[in-house]
Structure 1
């Protein structure tokens, strides 16, 4: 079973204060880049893997999706999602992505935001998603970029007034534990090639890879995003069955 850090009170309190938690998709600076990769959602049956507070599920319905199934391991996340959703076409269920089972060819689109790096066996998950999608359907997801995740001790290094991001242990895949709102948050580092090859091995065609960085307009509006120009924090991937 995956670590359920989002049901830890101190972690959930900290996470709930993030801009993306307060403002939803508009509070996520990578959202415009993700949206550019999305197909027309009208009439589609969608599964949202790691749905969190349900922001994407509700947005997808506003775009005409026929139904959305939101899955998450966290009871805290699901309770908030249900409280903020009054739409019978959107339902939420508790599920562990490590052991996920989905009905075959039941969905027209699969989505995930910053959840897959918590999964140890991504190959199994990719195969599960592939089987659950109808032919021609797409998967779009974001993950923490492996350059961001690789260091044994992530954080900026400063020498002679210059900052740099360590990229040690890049080829050493597996567990990474970080302190973020709570101690010992467990994630799994994979090389970018490992993630892409897992998708290909599952049967997907990789359509697009975006190593996200802010636009000049975003940098002007949010100067704190300048860090994201120094090293990629997220990768956004679109694949098709």
Structure 2
């Protein structure tokens, strides 16, 4: 869960709506993602794309799509009748035919205009899941929009990353911080003027949320830098060695749910 403090010099105060920071951070994220050494470009998106497989003729819903750039790539690869939803409304100025971009809140996915009665072959939560007010409810709404053979592709930051950063800052052990339930605050790496407040989570927390939403994990992946990128960007490999990167889950509805 993520909250925003507008004034970085004040003491962080959790906001009621965890999606608020994205309204300011969306343009900063897109600029960071476009950099040559972006881990999204080098690690995350290639791994996500591989797990998606052939999307030709498939409909895709990207929940928390940012500007819609990744979904536009899938449409160019043959995805059809695809929709991107993002609260920021900071969308591509000229999306390709077959791509619809809707401003909406992923926490209210079941009431986003334009989605009622629709189903999708692939539903994506690419680092957006942490902005949901009620993660289980959001996943349940997404599950209800899947076609019979559809699946959800969901990525989250490795929780070890936050535990490492908190243990260094607080002078505590890794285990103490990994299992802590306290909220923690830090300056966004995309915009130093914004302080984010998050609720700590563990890998078991994620698994239990998936189960409560009636989903099972078909595939789990922890992608790493390819050898060529390790040589070219040693500073990124150093970061990965310390913080581990991201978790990717391919989720399908449990029978009977």
What TM-score does the superposition give when structure 1 sets the normalisation length?
0.81
1:85 aligns to 2:95 (yes or no): yes
1:2–1:97 Cα contact (<8 Å) kept: no
Q: Distance in 2 between matches of 1:104 and 1:175?
A: 37
Q: Distance in 2 between matches of 1:119 and 1:193?
A: 18
Any gaps of 5 or more consecutive residues in structure 2?
1-16
Closer/same/farther in 2, CA of residues 156 and 211 from structure 1, 3 Å limit: farther
1:213 positional shift: 2.5
1:92 positional shift: 0.8
Closer/same/farther in 2, CA of residues 116 and 22 from structure 1, 3 Å limit: same
1:16 positional shift: 4.0
1:48 aligns to 2:62 (yes or no): yes
1:190 corresponds to: 201
1:124 positional shift: 1.1
Relative contact order, CA 8 A, sep 6+: which one is greater?
A: 2
Q: CA RMSD in A?
A: 2.8
2:130–2:156 Cα contact (<8 Å) kept: yes
1:156 positional shift: 5.5
1:48–1:69 Cα contact (<8 Å) kept: yes
1:65 positional shift: 0.8
Count of residues in Structure 1 that have an aligned counterpart in Structure 2:
227
1:234 aligns to 2:242 (yes or no): no
Q: Distance in 2 between matches of 1:50 and 1:212?
A: 21
Q: Find the residue that maps to 1:43 and give its secondary structure.
A: coil
1:72 aligns to 2:81 (yes or no): no
Q: Find the residue that maps to 1:208 and give its secondary structure.
A: strand
Q: Distance in 1 between matches of 2:250 and 2:182?
A: 23
Q: Distance in 2 between matches of 1:84 and 1:31?
A: 22
1:162 corresponds to: none
**1:3-54 Cα deviation digits (max 9, x unpaired):** 322333xx45643431x23579973422222222113211111100111121
2:136 corresponds to: 123
> How does 1:148-227 map onto structure 2 within 5 Å?
148-150=161-163, 154=166, 166=174, 168-173=176-181, 175-180=183-188, 181=191, 182-226=193-237, 227=239
1:4–1:74 Cα contact (<8 Å) kept: no
Of the structure 1 ranges 45-54 and 174-183, higher mean CA displacement relative to structure 2 is found in 174-183
Q: Distance in 2 between matches of 1:155 and 1:17?
A: 29
What TM-score does the superposition give when structure 2 sets the normalisation length?
0.77
1:210–1:235 Cα contact (<8 Å) kept: yes
Q: Distance in 1 between matches of 2:19 and 2:139?
A: 19
